Structure 1
């Protein structure tokens, strides 16, 4: 797939900006806080309807404006598609394909596929379980767009169950209460769908990531990725998982009533990353942690390409500065012209002449993008 153009209106610090992409690799050069990352964020939103910065929609709209819009033209094997995402300050979003508004946002997902790799992704290793869950969920949305709906259903049940627990926190509510049993059953049903898909995705991703990791580390380190759900996952059969889910809820029922929150479910799951059988967050240098994240991102690219049948876009947000020359070369060699790549950087020193000659170079300053440096 190839992103031919993007048009931003009142988005972040862009008032009105059209960019036409003319090469497989586009390098966006500029000082910090000029808008380089904002452009990549716009592409990420078109791919996943999420921002890794976790901003609210109103934070994406220029001050004083009620709405912003991202419009893009995408070339795929099946033809050219026009994508439009409109964000409003009141939180209501609309999406359109080829100028036709879609009733379900889920139908917008899967049209454009992209993998984002930023310096924030180093928190995948160092940060808490929530970072890894978000990473896995974002990948799954692209592999299987219906997962966005499944996750939304689970989160809705979770919110309602938490509200019920909080409301009855100080009451003499029985764990056998019929309304609580209803929420338990819904949580187990929707949670099982999330757990099964996460498990399946990691089983496909893990061997690809292991191969990349071995290649980058010179086979000196063995990477293992394990999915650790809060519900025992002996087998991937929905009935068995649901039963295990309900049994675990019963075990934690008194603690849940006391704390007024749900203690069992996919919102408590962990993705365990280990190198040479040691937890990666405790393991070795920052360089080794960066190798792991690089392997995960290259695995994401490969897996999406295998599932979708076309190479996704790669968005590299100021990440080369975080990698030493050896890892930079590994990454740049893996990309070549296989993936359309948008790269942000503060200077062009990381790129050799071959890369620079085959790339479109754009300069970003104060929310304006041009093909010549602004002085």
Structure 2
């Protein structure tokens, strides 16, 4: 469990220091007050990345030169400092030299937000990002392979656009794509196979209906990377870009055998998004043997009461859960068991039980 969280110059928080309960907590407040930033800080502390930013720089409070996140997690102190010198990582006061070394000692998470509906109706890139985040938690080698694949892909595409033929360099980057691309394909395919039955069960439980959800992993290359690159070689030269590989992967989502993006209602699409994230948590627990932390960002306003209750019932009882919301009326009076916090203008205080719920 996460026992404490401390922030310095993170988003809207100049400073924040709070003890956290094993159950988790519910952060209540209006929009743009800092609720999501608390969940974001937990995600950064455990996974070194934000679901809302591609780098650390946007996380720094306005006019500050750096930011810090720290906390006691699983009886060890994790620290992240970001400034002009880059990112410094620490565990129990000792500097950690690599991100993988840090991540091996940190926790695993499931992030759930309103934007998750784009998993169903958005582009393939959104579903690839979902897979990458999950796969990198379950396989430390995946993160390294993905980084090297992306760098090689970018360099190879530059070479393909060059009017001067540079075959030796092109072949060198092709070998890197083959090595790491096949690895990414293998891990993604295994993880999607783990997700499908779990997502299907969650879909039925949350919807309260016998809705058949299925997933299909569609590889961006057929027959392995070496063969696919050889077949596409001439087309690549004409179009001046790499046409096959994990950057073209997708996960097709079907409801009753029909494409969910086209035939599922908005309510069904939201349920599918929840089912995918719940399946992610179950896959993490099954594969890694750890119960992840659940971060639920303001999702209850878009759900009807039956789906809200079904979601809460489906979340693991022993998992630590942090929830943001503008109101707690959806808890139907059961909120006495939860630690409640008010978030207002970058400050956090305990929610008084006799406060009216708006």
Paired position in structure 2 for 1:238: none
Say yes or no: does 1:119 pair with 2:114: yes
Paired position in structure 1 for 2:155: 160
Paired position in structure 1 for 2:9: 10
Q: Residue 40 of structure 1: CA displacement?
A: 0.5
Paired position in structure 2 for 1:237: none
- When normalised by structure 2's length, the TM-score is 0.93
Whole-Å Cα distance in 2 between the matches of residues 221 and 20 of structure 1? Answer: 41
Whole-Å Cα distance in 2 between the matches of residues 22 and 51 of structure 1? Answer: 23
Q: Secondary structure at the match of 1:15?
A: strand
Paired position in structure 1 for 2:141: 146
Deviations 1:250-309 (A, max 9, x none): 332233233332211101111111111111111221100111111111111111122232
Paired position in structure 2 for 1:179: 169
Q: Aligned runs of 1:264-275 on 2, under 5 Å?
A: 264-275=244-255
Say yes or no: does 1:328 pair with 2:323: no
RMSD of the alignment, in Å? 1.9
Q: Secondary structure at the match of 1:261?
A: coil
**Matched residue pairs, number?**
353
Whole-Å Cα distance in 2 between the matches of residues 54 and 226 of structure 1? Answer: 29
Q: Residue 119 of structure 1: CA displacement?
A: 0.6
Q: Which moved more, 1:34-43 or 1:246-255?
A: 246-255
Q: Is the 8 A contact 2:206 2:311 kept in 1?
A: no
Paired position in structure 2 for 1:195: 185
Deviations 1:26-51 (A, max 9, x none): 01000000010011011111232221
Q: Aligned runs of 1:1-375 on 2, under 5 Å?
A: 2-75=1-74, 80-88=75-83, 92-110=86-104, 111-166=106-161, 168=162, 170-171=163-164, 173=165, 177-232=167-222, 241=224, 245-335=225-315, 337-354=317-334, 356-372=335-351
Q: Secondary structure at the match of 1:17?
A: strand
Whole-Å Cα distance in 2 between the matches of residues 217 and 331 of structure 1? Answer: 9
Whole-Å Cα distance in 1 between the matches of residues 239 and 13 of structure 2? Answer: 45
Deviations 1:93-137 (A, max 9, x none): 121111111111111114211100001111111110010000011
Q: Is the 8 A contact 1:362 1:369 kept in 2?
A: yes
Q: Residue 55 of structure 1: CA displacement?
A: 3.7
Q: Which moved more, 1:5-14 or 1:326-335?
A: 326-335
- When normalised by structure 1's length, the TM-score is 0.89
Q: Residue 246 of structure 1: CA displacement?
A: 2.3
Q: Which moved more, 1:182-191 or 1:264-273?
A: 182-191
Q: Secondary structure at the match of 1:93?
A: strand
